Structure 1
């Protein structure tokens, strides 16, 4: 699963901010939620969170998506996931 969210810039000189969320299976049967965020064309940061099963990883991804939507981000691209509720 992969999802890209963007936030409109405050002014004409600023680049839009983005958040990318995706799930990766690991070699031991668990899943990793990867969160990358930053400004387009600038620096970004990456955080990883480990989960034992797919259901808890998807729930965490949905919570992260909902938090970003509340902060003004919009879903630009979603692959392997349903549309935001």
Structure 2
């Protein structure tokens, strides 16, 4: 599952983005990958490991909700369980 959130730019700067990606690894665990930054500039990548899908999905939804409260807008959602 993958979500792309974007924040409206202030003035002439490029928009900020957050990409949240949920994926399973080879050992049956789940990983939440968070990429944040400004378009056209460097970004930051963080990875969090979870033992089961439910806790990983809960972390993804929490991160999504936090960014929505900060003024980000959901631009793209991909995946079978993509939140609406």
TM (normalized to structure 2)? 0.95
Q: Give the number of equivalent residue pairs.
A: 82
1:19, distance to aligned residue in structure 2 (A): 0.1
Runs of 5+ unmatched residues, structure 2: none
| Residue 8 (structure 2) aligns with | 8
1:24, distance to aligned residue in structure 2 (A): 1.3
| Residue 74 (structure 2) aligns with | 75
| Residue 21 (structure 1) aligns with | 20
Runs of 5+ unmatched residues, structure 1: none
CA RMSD of aligned residues (A): 0.5
Structure 1 Cα separation of the partners of residues 23 and 45 of structure 2: 14
Moved over 3 A (4+): none
| Residue 50 (structure 1) aligns with | 49
Deviations 1:36-61 (A, max 9, x none): 00000111000000000001000000
TM (normalized to structure 1)? 0.94
